[in-house]
Amino acid sequence: MVGALVGLMIAVIGVGTVGLGIAQLAPVIITLALTAMVTWTATHNMQVTLAWTLNGYREAHKNELLARESKANLALALKSLDNALAKLRRANERLSQVTLEAEEARHVKQQFAQTISHELRTPLNIIVGFTDVMVHSPEYYGAELAPAYRRDLGIINRNAQHLQSLINDVLDLARIEAAQMSILPEECEPVALVEESLNTVRALAESHGLRLECELPPGLPTLYVDPMRVRQVFFNLLSNAVRFTPRGSITVRACPQGDSVVFSVSDTGVGIAPEDLPKIFDRFYQGQRTEGGMIKGTGLGLAITKEVIEGHGGTIYAESKPGAGTSFFFTLPIFGASSVFDLIVHPMLEEAERDKMPFSIIRVEFWDQRTKREALIPDETWKAVIYALQKMVRSVDAVIPFQKNKVFDFSLTHRKLAKEIGERIQVKLTQGGYLPKKTAVRFKTYTYPEEVPLKEDFLKGCRDLLRED
């Protein structure tokens, strides 16, 4: 197109020069030049536009094909996802059914264990009681027993007691599996606990020719434990030591360590094989702990012992070498703010959060109006004060005495009711004649989440409240 226009211009110029001057042809030449330029520009732009349109069409067609392919892939993915969800739904339904059946089976097993244990314990208690009297107090029947009778009755008595122990282990295991093993901590003197525990196995140890030794340092701090459960721990460890110690001694030691007291029960017995040590606290596990074999227990005693220690927030482990004896080490909490936190505050706070309930702490303190200082309640009235407090609060509350000058009530209740409980305690103790003269009662409450919405802030405030002088 441009070439034709250029040729036309040349022809016009050639013709024009024959009869016209250059000045006369200039407008014609300029007009033709401008026309050529406009025509070229329009033609070029049209070509560019057509090329862009064609490329756009091709790209759009390509994108359409990709979109169709993606749509098909998405449809397949959605179908696969639907199938997976259906399988997951069926699996969840099966899991729910299996879980329900397992829970029902566990409940039936627990009920069976409790019922059978109760039915067995009643006659066993009678057998143990009567044989004990016949062996140790034959004069009650008016005549001395023949040695053969005494020996046979002793065998009956020991086996009945062994069966009692097995039944108690089964019941404890059922409670553990149902998360119903309760720990009821209180202030306990460690020396008294150890001595009481040693006395329960002393006769058995002496009958095997073993020495029972107690190496406790003076001034051991007061423990915050469930005394019945701790005696059970000592009995399990001491009776095991007697069974697996042919000769020598069994020693109980203790030493304070931070917020705990570390106890150890050591024997000079046959020891435990290295491959058995990691498994000795497993339920029903029975390792080869003897030379040539010995009568084994149920494998529940150490498992229950571990549950009890961990229920107190402690740890337990064993050290042993075959032929060189065994030592069990475990920790129990010292009475104080830290142990109260571990055994009371954290579990109750978890329960409150789980059940969406408020949690309140009521701090009751006693004030000497003459000295304007905290009053120490005398020993003879302190137990009466605690007993009265326990009767005034709800049965589900935890009442914790501190150092004979403070009492804490931990309650799953809201702030208003906590204040009402505090006022009731204040009036009852002041007007009930429980306290020495000129002794006032004051209280503070602290409630989560009404007063302190954040759990971390509440726990920090709890520690301050427990440690406040």
Q: Which of 36-40, 54-58, 362-366, 369-373 has the highest mean pLDDT?
A: 362-366
Residue 291 scores a pLDDT above 60: no
Average pLDDT, the chain: 82
- Residue 293's pLDDT is 41
Instruction: Return the pLDDT at 21.
Output: 53
pLDDT confidence of residue 360:
95
Q: Which CATH architecture has domain 337-467?
A: 2-Layer Sandwich (3.30)
Tell me the pLDDT tens digit for each residue of 226-264: 998 999 999 999 999 998 999 999 999 999 999 999 999
pLDDT at 22 over 60: no
* Strand-pair category, 359-368 with 316-320: unpaired
Superfamily for the 187-333 domain: Histidine kinase-like ATPase, C-terminal domain (3.30.565.10)
- Among 282, 422, 403, smallest CA distance to 364 is for 422
pLDDT above 90 covers a percentage of the chain that reads 33
Task: Give pTM, 2 decimals.
Answer: 0.62
The letter for the amino acid at 257 is: Q
Query: pLDDT by residue (tens digit) across 52-65?
Result: 777 777 877 788 88
Predicted confidence at residue 135, as pLDDT, reads 77
Tens of pLDDT, residues 63-112 = 888 888 888 888 888 888 888 888 888 888 888 888 787 777 766 766 76
For the segment 124-155, what is each residue's pLDDT rounded down to a tens digit?
878 878 887 787 777 777 777 788 888 888 88
